[in-house]
Structure formats: structure tokens, C-alpha cells
Chain A
Amino acid sequence: MSGEPRPGWKNLLQGTARVLRAPIYLLALVTITVMAVLPQFFGTQYFALSLVFATIYITLALAWDLSSGLTGYISFGLPFFFGLGAMATGYSYYHGVGGSFSLLAIDFGVGLLGGLLFALPTLRLRGPFFTLLSLLLPLIAASFVVAFWQVLHMPTIGYIGIPFLAPSPQAELPILSVTTAAVLTVSFLLRRSHFGLVLRAIRDDEDAVESKGIRTLPYKVAVFSFASGIAAFAGGTYAMTTSFGGIDSFDFQFLIYPMLIAIVGAAIVRGGLGGIVGSVFAGYAIILFSQYLTLPEFNLQELTLPIFAFVAILLVLFLPSALGRPSGPREAS
């Protein structure tokens, strides 16, 4: 930015430390830690696996809340970038890339690039274009895989046999807890930074922001690309948890759950969407409950998704505060 005086590392570090002393953030970190440690001593393999899924969905929810919740540019493209990450993992693995961390780094890069390519043209436009086109992404991706699975060297409509991130869910959970905590920390810092402030300002009145000399496009594109990279990273971890990356990775459950988590999380921290931290608490609760419902003794496996979609509808209907956009007077012409 023009003429910005260099803040100096010391100031920056002090500022960061101040932000990270926020009690709600610390509570979220403690929650993640407890959830990472708990299944090492208690519960079944299934409990540990459920917690692994919870960290993946929380990561997705954080990414969605950071980009869509904070800016008001709602994206339905989350399953696309998630699936892109899962597919990139499979593709890279089938083409000789070894090592979980290089695979995940590739996923992040692919998601970042994909997000950039999508956001650059579409975020120039105001109005509903961005949201609608983002919804087309996962739809198109699925038919792309169906059409080109042979071209992509898939053994079926997806890559099978992707190596596991860790030998057991118990061993995998601490790794994903650390990455989830890292995503939380970065998102939380971004939200509290000048960058995050501009994003919130964009949500309130983008024209007013531009009229005072701030070009909004780079902010929107940057946050969306970053969030897409995170979503693809999450998709990679999912592929390494289930050993599969393909057409199912574009399923809309990877939108419904994260949106549900972000909306409930927003209600928990009472700040509307874009509150970031709430997703951690809501994520464990929702995913554990959903995994609990899929246990064989309830015979609800097939009904879990409809139930949660229905709950999400009710929340959108009856929880006006959670979706943000405080009902202040708006006199913009």
C-alpha cells in the first residue's frame, strides 16, 4: 500500500501476541487440544475417526467463514476446491509424488491457483454472479470427472489406494489438530488485521469503500484464493483419510456441514458470520453428533444428511442473527 510506514517486526509481534491473548481464541485452542488428546486414552477407533472428520470439516468451515462470511460474497464452490484437493492428491500420487506433506503442499497450491483463476474474473462483478457461478463449479466438476476419468488415469471415477496420512485415526488426529489450529490462528489473525477490517467493510458497503481509495478486488481475490487453498488442503487430508479421491469428493455434504458449522458458530460467538472462532466449537458438536447418528444401532445412516440439511434450513430461517448483516438502516441508493 502507498506510503505505509514500516511497522517494524517488534510492533507486529506485539500486536499479534495481543490479538492471540483473546480468551475465546485460547478456549478454541484448548478445545482442539483436548479433542486431540482424548481418543488417545478413551473411546473406540470410530470415535477417533469421527474426530478426524470433525477437524477436516472445521478446517472447511473456517475457510468458508473467512472468505464468504467475512466479505458477504457467498461461495457455494467449497466442494469444488475440496474435491480438487482430493483429486490432486490422487493424481500426484499416481504420477509418482511421494510423501504426505508434499502431496498436501501440492493440494494447497492447486486450490490457491484454482481459486485465483476463478475469483479474478468473477469477483470483478457485483451482484449474484459470483455466488451462482461458484455453485456451478462442483456441478461441472462432477460431470467433468465422469467424462474424463480415463484421460485422468483414474482406475474408476476416482483415485483409489491413496496412502493414509497415518497408520490409525488416533495417530492422524494430532496431525490434523495441529493443522486445524494453524488455520484457526491464521484466520483469526487475518480477521483482526487491517486486511480483515477491509473485508468486513466490503461486506457492509463495497462502493463506499472504493470511493475512499481502496481497490477492493485484490482483497476479495486474495481471501478467496487463500480459502480455496485451505479447502483443497482439507480435501487432500480427507483423501488420505479415506484413501479415495474422486467424484464423491465434490458432494454437497462438503458445503452443507461447513455452512451449518459456520452458521451455528456465528450464533455461538454472537458476531454474525465471519466470526471465525465459533466454528471450532460448533464443528466438534455437529460432526460428532452426525457421526453418532450414523452408528448402526440407530439405522439412520441414510437419513443423517437429510436431517442435517433440514436443520440447516431451520437455522437459516429462524436464526437471523447468525447470517450476519445486522439490520442497521441502509440508505444506499
Chain B
Amino acid sequence: MASVDSAIAIILVYGAVGGAIYALISLGFTLIFGVARLLNLVYGALYMVVGYTIYALAVQDGVSIYAAAAVAIAIAIGVGTVSFLLFVRRNPDPIRFMIGTLLIALFLQYYFSYAFQGEAGYIIPGLIPNTSILVMGVSISQLSLLAAGVSVIMVVTLYIWVERTGSGRVLRATASDPETAALFGISPGRVALLVIVLSSALIGLAAVLVVPTGEVTPTMWTGPFIIAFVVAIVGGLGKFLWTLPAAFLVSFSQVTAQYYIPYDVTDLVAFAVAIVFILTLPRGMGGIWEAHRVG
């Protein structure tokens, strides 16, 4: 059994890196809900699309990983945008949208299972070699560190964009009141399109960075989906500025529980955190903040 010090080091390092990665995985999901008020269940499947595309190109066909990653992200954007437009343009009913996008995710799962021979897991290369280094005496994969670093950069960039630039303000205005925004000549449809492209690119990027640390399987979409959903609940649905703190909370809860429980309980912990928040703070961490600001 490790000493208390090393326990703290392990929880700190894995929790922090995991939190940053979770933020990257969740950002796009929260963004879509914030702007379009729609729960895009294809979201997790895009992660899988990237995994299989890179496998097909880089491993099976020998294309360079950079080219493969670029193509994979482009395909993810394409799939994400088309499925969004299919359901939003025809019928903007949120129930139909949820059922439809879930069916697309499941279709992709079954399709990949068929096209890539069943449940076998494949390994794909990362942008940098998957070797481990020591941080505070804890061994951690360089790929994970890269993912965490990119995540922090993306979160900060997005924050500055939304808070400080004109186009970001358009986004915020649409998120808080689409009808009024429309009166000022902003097309909510176009903003939604921008957001769906952006969010598909974000989850695609997350996949390029994170999937090489794991396996490509037909059910891999559920992992990022659970994370994105739980982080969205904890931060407050649609309050994407709260993604980072929420992601850290989820990650630290998981890592702490995992450290003490000898079974793989990460999904269960995530679910428990979501339930606790829904019961006590259905508007999430962002909700408490707003209550104070207004009151």
C-alpha cells in the first residue's frame, strides 16, 4: 500500500490531468445545449468515428498520423453537422431530436461493429509517442499530458472568444435569448450551425488526443458521452464556462473513489455525482453562482 503522500500525489496528478481531459471532452456538448437547447446524442459517437477513421487510415492504410487525424476530424464535423441539420431543419422537436440522434449513435456503433469485425479493440497511434514520464513521482502518459495541455488552451481560448469578441457576444446573445437575438438580425440557425461545427471539431480533437491512450471499440462512444453528460449536469446544462471546474470535480471524485475501491467504479461514480447534483442542485454549479449574482 502506498504512503499517504503518494496517495495525495496520485490523486492530484490523475485528477488534474483527467479533469482537463474531461473538460475537452465535454466542452462541445455543453456548447450545443447552451446555444441550441438541444441534447445532441450523436456527440459521443463522433469520438468513435474519429477512432475508427484513424485506425483505418493510419494503421490499415499506412497514412501518416497527422493526415489521418485531420481527415478524421473533418469526417467527425461532417457527420455531426449532417445529423444535426437532418433533424433540426426538418423538425425542431427536442424529443424527436434526442431519439434521432441516439439512433444515429447506435447505428454507428452497430455499423462499426460490423465493418471492423466485432468487439475487438484496436490501438491507434497518437500525435506523439505514448511513453510515460514521472510527475510528482507519479507515472503518467505523455499523451495524456498533451491532451490536458491542449484542453486548457482550448478552454481559455473559447472563454476569451465568447467573453471578449464580437462573434462571441453573438453566441452568448443567442444562448440567452434566441428570439431577441433574431430580432437584431442574428440568425439562430447560422449560430447553431457554427456551434455544431465547433463542437464536432472539439470532440474530434479530444478523440485524436485521448483515444490513443485506450482502445477503439464499437461501444467506446459511451465513455465520452457519460463524461460529457455528467460534466454538463454538474456545471449546469448549457453553462459552458463552468465546464472546467465541473470537469475537475467529476475527475477528482472518480480518481479518489478509484484509489480506494478495488473495482472499476469510474462510471458508477460519475453517475452518482450526476444524481447528487440533479437532486440537490439541478441547475449545477453555474446555477448557484447565478442565484447569487441576481439576488
Which residues in A have some Cβ–Cβ distance to B below 8 Å? 72, 74, 76, 121-122, 125, 128-129, 131-133, 135-136, 139-140, 142-144, 146-148, 151, 252, 255-256, 259, 302-303, 305-306, 309-310, 312-313, 316-317, 320, 323, 325
Contacts and interface: CB of A to CB of B under 8 A. Distances in A.
Given A139-B267, A143-B264, A147-B265, A309 B103 contact: yes
A311 to B, nearest CB: 10
A228 B41 CA distance: 23
B140 interface: no
Interface string B275-295: 100110010000000000000
Contacts of A302: 113-114
B100 A313 contact: yes
B99 A259 contact: yes
A259 B103 CA distance: 10
Interface string B122-151: 000000000000000000000000000000
A74 B229 contact: no
B110 A306 contact: yes
Contact of B226 (A128, A131, A139): A139
Given A144-B268, A323-B93, A136 B99 contact: no
A143 B107 contact: no
Interface residues of B, number: 42
11 contacts: A121-B275, A128-B39, A129-B282, A140-B267, A140-B271, A143-B266, A147-B264, A302-B113, A309-B110, A316-B103, A325-B93
Nearest to B91: A320
B95 interface: yes
A76 B102 contact: yes
A135 B268 CA distance: 14
A133 B114 contact: no
B106 A74 contact: no
Interface in B93-120: 93-96, 98-100, 102-104, 106-107, 109-111, 113-114
Contact of A313 (B91, B95, B104, B274): B104
Nearest to A118: B275
A60 to B, nearest CB: 16
